[in-house]
């Protein structure tokens, strides 16, 4: 891999400069191939809707790893803008809300993408740290929540937005058809307790910790104003979203916080 320049790292994949103004997202060798194919197909569909997202070019192999070649986008993550220019936090948080609202404003996408409730149920059933009774209660509760078929990102947060000549939304692996309130609940949860990738500079981690409540507050205020959703609509999805997140590659510290949120809310009947 010496001939390729590393330009980004994450928990599941590394990003390298590629050829002809493209990048290649190379996944860890243990990462499921089906999930890579899924990201490629979802990204193609989202791109076809006219959403500002990098064009997915092809799935390929490099250095014994599978990757997706994407059009290269030059820009700075919204997270980096927030942490380097905290005096503009309200502006950037409002941008986050507007982008998310615009995603949810697309027409019905049922039949095109995976179903939100189906994805959540699958992950809840696999969730470590929850017992069988807790899983059954959470799934029964989830089934009672309103079902919709809007385009949802599934992992929308400031590090998945690039700002350059245009504002670009990346990482559509978890794209699905569902209720926007559940998608917003996921974002609110990430803004509340989501841990930064290990490779993030400590200064950035410290800054995010200080700013996260303000980002969340402004983001939710504007999203609710544009969408007409009430905070209770969003809060009602926190339990299943938190339970499903337990299946992800997370530090033990975050898993403990998720378990605490789930069990407190279950005991309160919400």
Same domain membership, residue 195 and residue 118: yes
Same domain membership, residue 84 and residue 67: no
Same domain membership, residue 255 and residue 126: yes
Range of the domain at 64: 6-71
- The continuous run of DSSP H or E covering 60 comes out as strand 56-62
Residue 20 pLDDT: 82
What is residue 173's DSSP assignment? T
Residue 198 pLDDT: 59
Same domain membership, residue 20 and residue 134: no
Distances (CA, A) of 160 to 75, 80, 139, 229: 11, 11, 28, 23
Alpha-helical segments (H) within the chain:
33-48, 78-84, 89-104, 116-126, 132-143, 180-193, 202-227, 231-235, 238-245, 252-268
CATH number of 241's domain: 3.90.1200.10
Q: Identify the domain boundary among 71, 102, 118.
A: 71
Same domain membership, residue 135 and residue 20: no
Three-class DSSP labels, 149-170:
CEEECCCCCHHHEEEECCEEEC
Same domain membership, residue 98 and residue 59: no
Contact 121, 197 (CB under 8 A): no
Residue 249 pLDDT: 83
CATH number of 12's domain: 3.30.200.20
Domain count, the chain: 2
Residue 83 pLDDT: 86
Residue 63 falls in which region: left (phi positive, over 0), alpha (psi -120 to 50) or beta: left
Does residue 1 belong to any structural domain of this protein? no
Same domain membership, residue 176 and residue 115: yes
Same domain membership, residue 151 and residue 105: yes
Query: CA-to-CA distance for 254 and 20, rounded, in angstroms?
Result: 39
Same domain membership, residue 80 and residue 67: no
pLDDT tens, the chain, 270 aa long: 457 888 888 778 999 998 889 999 999 988 999 999 999 999 999 999 999 999 999 999 988 899 999 999 999 999 999 988 999 999 999 999 999 999 999 989 988 899 999 999 999 999 999 999 999 999 999 999 999 999 999 999 999 999 998 999 999 999 999 999 999 999 999 999 876 555 556 666 666 677 889 999 999 999 999 999 999 999 999 999 999 999 998 889 999 999 999 999 999 876
Does residue 110 belong to any structural domain of this protein? yes
Same domain membership, residue 42 and residue 88: no
Does residue 228 belong to any structural domain of this protein? yes
Same domain membership, residue 105 and residue 17: no
Same domain membership, residue 175 and residue 191: yes
Q: Identify the domain boundary among 21, 40, 71.
A: 71
pTM here is: 0.92
Q: Identify the domain boundary among 20, 38, 71.
A: 71
């Amino acid at each position: 891999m010496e001939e390729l320049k590393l330009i980004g790292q994450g928990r599941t994949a590394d990003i390298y400069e590629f050829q002809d103004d493209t990048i290649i997202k190379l996944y860890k060798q243990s990462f499921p191939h089906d999930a890579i194919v899924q990201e490629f197909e979802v990204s193609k569909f989202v791109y076809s809707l006219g959403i500002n997202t990098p064009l997915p070019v092809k799935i390929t192999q490099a250095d014994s790893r599978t990757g997706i070649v994407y059009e290269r986008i030059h820009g700075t993550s919204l997270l980096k803008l927030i942490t380097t220019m905290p005096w503009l936090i309200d502006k950037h948080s409002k941008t986050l809300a507007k982008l998310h609202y615009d995603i949810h404003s697309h027409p019905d996408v049922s039949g095109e993408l995976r179903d939100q409730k189906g994805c959540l149920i699958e992950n809840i059933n696999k969730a470590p740290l929850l017992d069988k009774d807790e899983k059954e209660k959470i799934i029964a509760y989830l089934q009672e929540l309103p079902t919709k078929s809007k385009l949802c990102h599934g992992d929308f947060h400031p590090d998945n937005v690039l700002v350059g000549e245009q504002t670009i939304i990346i990482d559509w692996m978890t794209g699905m058809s569902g209720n926007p309130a559940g998608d917003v609940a996921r974002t609110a949860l990430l803004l509340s307790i989501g841990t930064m990738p290990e490779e993030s500079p400590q200064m950035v981690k410290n800054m995010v910790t200080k700013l996260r409540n303000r980002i969340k507050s402004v983001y939710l205020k504007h999203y609710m104003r544009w969408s007409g959703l009430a905070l209770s609509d969003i809060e009602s999805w926190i339990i299943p979203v938190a339970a499903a997140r337990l299946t992800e590659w997370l530090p033990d510290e975050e898993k403990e916080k998720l378990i605490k949120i789930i069990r407190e809310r279950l005991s309160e009947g919400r």
